[in-house]
Protein backbone atom coordinates (compact mmCIF):
# COMPACT_ATOMS: atom_id res chain seq x y z
CA UNK A 1 0.00 0.00 0.00
CA UNK A 2 1.30 3.45 -0.93
CA UNK A 3 -0.06 6.70 0.47
CA UNK A 4 -2.83 8.16 -1.70
CA UNK A 5 -1.88 10.97 -4.04
CA UNK A 6 -4.26 13.31 -5.81
CA UNK A 7 -4.85 12.37 -9.40
CA UNK A 8 -5.74 14.65 -12.26
CA UNK A 9 -8.04 12.06 -13.80
CA UNK A 10 -9.47 8.67 -12.85
CA UNK A 11 -6.87 6.59 -14.68
CA UNK A 12 -4.10 9.18 -14.82
CA UNK A 13 -0.81 9.74 -13.08
CA UNK A 14 -0.34 11.28 -9.62
CA UNK A 15 0.36 14.99 -9.52
CA UNK A 16 4.05 15.68 -10.02
CA UNK A 17 4.84 12.33 -11.68
CA UNK A 18 5.98 11.94 -15.29
CA UNK A 19 3.08 11.08 -17.64
CA UNK A 20 3.25 7.52 -18.92
CA UNK A 21 3.43 8.69 -22.53
CA UNK A 22 6.85 10.15 -21.64
CA UNK A 23 8.06 6.91 -20.06
CA UNK A 24 9.75 4.33 -22.26
CA UNK A 25 7.38 1.35 -22.60
CA UNK A 26 8.51 -1.76 -20.75
CA UNK A 27 7.01 -4.07 -23.37
CA UNK A 28 6.29 -3.95 -27.10
CA UNK A 29 3.73 -6.73 -27.49
CA UNK A 30 1.24 -8.82 -25.55
CA UNK A 31 3.73 -11.65 -25.50
CA UNK A 32 6.35 -9.47 -23.80
CA UNK A 33 3.83 -8.08 -21.31
CA UNK A 34 2.51 -11.53 -20.41
CA UNK A 35 6.03 -12.87 -19.99
CA UNK A 36 6.92 -9.98 -17.66
CA UNK A 37 3.72 -10.47 -15.65
CA UNK A 38 4.33 -14.19 -15.20
CA UNK A 39 7.91 -13.57 -14.11
CA UNK A 40 7.48 -10.57 -11.79
CA UNK A 41 3.83 -10.00 -10.90
CA UNK A 42 0.92 -11.54 -9.02
CA UNK A 43 -2.73 -10.54 -8.86
CA UNK A 44 -2.49 -8.79 -5.49
CA UNK A 45 0.04 -6.19 -6.65
CA UNK A 46 -1.90 -5.40 -9.84
CA UNK A 47 -5.13 -5.21 -7.84
CA UNK A 48 -3.50 -2.74 -5.44
CA UNK A 49 -2.50 -0.53 -8.36
CA UNK A 50 -6.01 -0.65 -9.81
CA UNK A 51 -7.34 0.51 -6.42
CA UNK A 52 -5.01 3.53 -6.61
CA UNK A 53 -6.37 4.24 -10.09
CA UNK A 54 -9.94 4.31 -8.77
CA UNK A 55 -10.86 0.90 -10.21
CA UNK A 56 -12.08 -0.73 -7.01
CA UNK A 57 -14.11 -3.68 -8.35
CA UNK A 58 -11.94 -5.67 -10.75
CA UNK A 59 -11.55 -9.00 -8.92
CA UNK A 60 -14.07 -11.69 -9.78
CA UNK A 61 -15.94 -13.26 -6.82
CA UNK A 62 -13.63 -15.31 -4.57
CA UNK A 63 -15.63 -18.48 -5.25
CA UNK A 64 -13.78 -18.62 -8.58
CA UNK A 65 -10.48 -20.24 -7.63
CA UNK A 66 -7.53 -21.93 -9.29
CA UNK A 67 -8.26 -25.61 -9.77
CA UNK A 68 -4.75 -26.22 -8.40
CA UNK A 69 -2.76 -23.71 -6.29
CA UNK A 70 0.13 -23.56 -8.78
CA UNK A 71 -2.08 -22.59 -11.73
CA UNK A 72 -1.43 -19.10 -13.15
CA UNK A 73 -2.68 -17.48 -16.31
CA UNK A 74 -2.70 -14.17 -18.16
CA UNK A 75 -4.27 -13.40 -21.51
CA UNK A 76 -7.06 -11.57 -23.28
CA UNK A 77 -10.68 -12.44 -22.61
CA UNK A 78 -12.93 -14.35 -24.97
CA UNK A 79 -16.23 -13.81 -23.10
CA UNK A 80 -18.81 -16.56 -23.55
CA UNK A 81 -22.50 -16.24 -22.66
CA UNK A 82 -24.13 -19.47 -21.43
CA UNK A 83 -27.74 -20.03 -20.40
CA UNK A 84 -29.75 -22.80 -18.76
CA UNK A 85 -32.00 -25.02 -20.86
CA UNK A 86 -34.19 -27.95 -19.94
CA UNK A 87 -33.76 -30.19 -22.99
CA UNK A 88 -30.73 -30.96 -25.13
CA UNK A 89 -32.70 -30.23 -28.30
CA UNK A 90 -36.14 -28.63 -28.39
CA UNK A 91 -38.30 -27.14 -31.14
CA UNK A 92 -38.85 -23.51 -30.20
CA UNK A 93 -38.68 -20.03 -31.68
CA UNK A 94 -34.88 -19.80 -31.35
CA UNK A 95 -32.88 -21.92 -33.77
CA UNK A 96 -30.29 -22.63 -31.06
CA UNK A 97 -32.91 -24.47 -29.01
CA UNK A 98 -32.63 -27.44 -31.36
CA UNK A 99 -28.82 -27.37 -31.46
CA UNK A 100 -27.05 -29.40 -28.73
CA UNK A 101 -24.62 -27.22 -26.75
CA UNK A 102 -25.66 -24.15 -28.76
CA UNK A 103 -22.56 -22.24 -29.95
CA UNK A 104 -20.16 -23.93 -27.54
CA UNK A 105 -18.03 -25.57 -30.23
CA UNK A 106 -17.90 -22.38 -32.30
CA UNK A 107 -16.80 -20.40 -29.24
CA UNK A 108 -14.15 -22.97 -28.33
CA UNK A 109 -12.81 -23.17 -31.90
CA UNK A 110 -12.62 -19.36 -32.07
CA UNK A 111 -10.01 -19.16 -29.29
CA UNK A 112 -6.85 -17.37 -30.39
CA UNK A 113 -3.32 -17.73 -28.96
CA UNK A 114 -3.05 -16.15 -25.48
CA UNK A 115 -6.83 -15.85 -25.10
CA UNK A 116 -8.77 -16.99 -22.03
CA UNK A 117 -12.23 -18.54 -22.32
CA UNK A 118 -14.43 -16.68 -19.79
CA UNK A 119 -17.89 -18.21 -19.39
CA UNK A 120 -20.87 -16.96 -17.38
CA UNK A 121 -24.66 -16.72 -17.43
CA UNK A 122 -25.67 -20.18 -16.26
CA UNK A 123 -26.75 -21.58 -12.91
CA UNK A 124 -24.25 -23.84 -11.09
CA UNK A 125 -26.15 -27.03 -11.96
CA UNK A 126 -23.56 -28.47 -14.34
CA UNK A 127 -19.97 -28.25 -15.53
CA UNK A 128 -19.05 -25.53 -18.03
CA UNK A 129 -15.64 -26.96 -18.96
CA UNK A 130 -13.95 -30.33 -19.26
CA UNK A 131 -11.00 -32.37 -20.45
CA UNK A 132 -11.68 -32.41 -24.19
CA UNK A 133 -12.30 -28.67 -24.16
CA UNK A 134 -8.92 -28.24 -22.46
CA UNK A 135 -7.26 -30.41 -25.11
CA UNK A 136 -8.73 -28.28 -27.90
CA UNK A 137 -7.82 -25.02 -26.12
CA UNK A 138 -4.22 -26.17 -25.67
CA UNK A 139 -4.02 -27.02 -29.36
CA UNK A 140 -5.16 -23.46 -30.14
CA UNK A 141 -2.51 -22.07 -27.71
CA UNK A 142 -5.14 -20.53 -25.45
CA UNK A 143 -3.95 -19.30 -22.06
CA UNK A 144 -6.65 -20.73 -19.79
CA UNK A 145 -10.33 -20.86 -18.84
CA UNK A 146 -12.30 -18.92 -16.23
CA UNK A 147 -15.73 -20.30 -15.37
CA UNK A 148 -18.54 -18.77 -13.36
CA UNK A 149 -19.43 -22.33 -12.42
CA UNK A 150 -17.90 -25.82 -12.26
CA UNK A 151 -15.56 -28.01 -14.29
CA UNK A 152 -15.28 -31.76 -14.75
CA UNK A 153 -12.62 -34.25 -15.93
CA UNK A 154 -10.44 -32.71 -13.26
CA UNK A 155 -7.58 -35.23 -13.34
CA UNK A 156 -7.41 -34.97 -17.11
CA UNK A 157 -7.09 -31.18 -16.81
CA UNK A 158 -4.37 -31.64 -14.17
CA UNK A 159 -2.46 -33.96 -16.51
CA UNK A 160 -2.75 -31.45 -19.34
CA UNK A 161 -1.47 -28.67 -17.04
CA UNK A 162 -4.07 -26.32 -18.51
CA UNK A 163 -4.89 -23.40 -16.16
CA UNK A 164 -8.55 -23.44 -15.13
CA UNK A 165 -10.32 -21.23 -12.58
CA UNK A 166 -13.77 -22.18 -11.35
CA UNK A 167 -15.96 -22.94 -8.32
CA UNK A 168 -14.53 -26.45 -8.19
CA UNK A 169 -15.30 -29.84 -9.68
CA UNK A 170 -18.75 -31.24 -10.47
CA UNK A 171 -19.25 -34.00 -13.05
CA UNK A 172 -22.82 -33.25 -14.19
CA UNK A 173 -22.87 -32.61 -17.95
CA UNK A 174 -24.16 -29.42 -19.53
CA UNK A 175 -25.59 -31.29 -22.56
CA UNK A 176 -29.29 -31.33 -21.53
CA UNK A 177 -28.89 -28.40 -19.12
CA UNK A 178 -27.04 -25.54 -20.82
CA UNK A 179 -26.10 -23.94 -24.12
CA UNK A 180 -23.73 -21.24 -25.26
CA UNK A 181 -25.91 -18.48 -26.69
CA UNK A 182 -23.20 -16.07 -27.88
CA UNK A 183 -19.52 -15.23 -27.58
CA UNK A 184 -17.15 -12.30 -28.01
CA UNK A 185 -19.79 -10.16 -26.33
CA UNK A 186 -19.55 -8.16 -23.08
CA UNK A 187 -20.48 -10.12 -19.95
CA UNK A 188 -20.47 -9.51 -16.21
CA UNK A 189 -19.44 -11.77 -13.35
CA UNK A 190 -20.21 -10.55 -9.85
CA UNK A 191 -20.75 -7.04 -11.16
CA UNK A 192 -17.37 -6.96 -12.93
CA UNK A 193 -17.70 -6.15 -16.61
CA UNK A 194 -15.59 -8.21 -19.01
CA UNK A 195 -15.28 -6.93 -22.57
CA UNK A 196 -13.70 -8.93 -25.38
CA UNK A 197 -9.97 -8.32 -25.25
CA UNK A 198 -9.74 -7.21 -21.61
CA UNK A 199 -6.69 -8.67 -19.89
CA UNK A 200 -7.45 -11.49 -17.46
CA UNK A 201 -4.79 -12.18 -14.83
CA UNK A 202 -5.37 -15.16 -12.54
CA UNK A 203 -3.46 -16.99 -9.85
CA UNK A 204 -4.06 -18.71 -6.51
CA UNK A 205 -5.27 -15.44 -4.95
CA UNK A 206 -7.99 -14.69 -7.48
CA UNK A 207 -9.01 -13.63 -10.97
CA UNK A 208 -8.49 -10.00 -11.96
CA UNK A 209 -9.91 -8.12 -14.95
CA UNK A 210 -7.87 -5.21 -16.33
CA UNK A 211 -9.76 -2.92 -18.74
CA UNK A 212 -7.98 -1.92 -21.95
CA UNK A 213 -8.08 1.77 -21.02
CA UNK A 214 -6.12 1.04 -17.83
CA UNK A 215 -3.78 -1.76 -18.83
CA UNK A 216 -0.66 0.23 -19.73
CA UNK A 217 -0.70 2.31 -16.55
CA UNK A 218 -1.73 -0.62 -14.37
CA UNK A 219 1.08 -2.93 -15.45
CA UNK A 220 3.72 -0.19 -15.55
CA UNK A 221 2.86 0.84 -11.98
CA UNK A 222 2.56 -2.79 -10.86
CA UNK A 223 6.05 -3.64 -12.12
CA UNK A 224 7.39 -0.56 -10.33
CA UNK A 225 5.61 -1.58 -7.12
CA UNK A 226 6.70 -5.23 -7.29
CA UNK A 227 10.32 -4.20 -7.78
CA UNK A 228 10.01 -1.78 -4.85
CA UNK A 229 8.57 -4.52 -2.66
CA UNK A 230 11.71 -6.57 -3.19
CA UNK A 231 13.72 -3.75 -1.62
CA UNK A 232 11.27 -3.55 1.29
CA UNK A 233 11.48 -7.31 1.85
CA UNK A 234 15.27 -7.19 1.88
CA UNK A 235 15.22 -4.30 4.38
CA UNK A 236 12.79 -6.10 6.72
CA UNK A 237 14.81 -9.30 6.49
CA UNK A 238 17.79 -7.19 7.52
CA UNK A 239 16.02 -6.05 10.69
CA UNK A 240 14.18 -2.86 9.65
CA UNK A 241 10.83 -2.40 11.37
CA UNK A 242 7.59 -2.31 9.37
CA UNK A 243 7.04 1.31 10.38
CA UNK A 244 10.54 2.31 9.27
CA UNK A 245 10.17 0.44 5.99
CA UNK A 246 6.86 2.16 5.21
CA UNK A 247 8.32 5.57 6.08
CA UNK A 248 11.32 5.02 3.82
CA UNK A 249 9.80 3.19 0.86
CA UNK A 250 6.09 4.05 1.06
CA UNK A 251 5.21 0.41 0.36
CA UNK A 252 3.92 -2.35 2.62
| Highest-confidence segment of 17-21, 33-37, 233-237 | 33-37
Q: Lowest-confidence range among 15-19, 120-124, 138-142, 209-213?
A: 15-19
Q: What is the pLDDT of residue 66?
A: 98
User: How many CB atoms are located within 10 Å of the residue 140 CB?
Assistant: 15
pTM over 0.85: yes
CA distance 153 to 83: 21
Phi/psi for 45 (5° steps) reads -70, -35
Q: What angle do CA 206, 207, 212 make, to 5 degrees?
A: 145
pLDDT band at 2 (very low <50, low <70, confident <90, very high): very low
Half-sphere exposure of 223 (CA within 13 A, CB side): 15
- Pair 117, 78: CB distance under 8 Å: yes
As a whole-number percent, the residues of the chain with pLDDT over 90 amount to 77
Q: Give pLDDT tens digits for 148-202.
A: 999 999 999 999 999 999 999 999 999 999 999 999 999 999 999 999 999 999 9
Domain range summary for the chain, segments of one domain joined by +:
20-58+211-249, 65-209
Domain at 65-209, CATH homologous superfamily: Ribonuclease E inhibitor RraA/RraA-like (3.50.30.40)
Select from 37, 173, 62, 182 the least CA-distant residue to 118: 182
Residues contacting 199, CB < 8 A, separation 6+: 74, 75, 76, 77, 209, 210, 212, 215
What length is written for the chain?
A: 252
Amino acid sequence: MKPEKDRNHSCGFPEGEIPLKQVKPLWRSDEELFRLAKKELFTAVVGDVLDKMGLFHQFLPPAIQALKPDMRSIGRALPVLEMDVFAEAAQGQNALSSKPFGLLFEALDDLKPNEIYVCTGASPRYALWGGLMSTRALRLKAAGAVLDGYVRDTHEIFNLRFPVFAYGSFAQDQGPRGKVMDFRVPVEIGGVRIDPGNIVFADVDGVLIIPRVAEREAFTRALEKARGEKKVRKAIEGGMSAAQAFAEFGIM
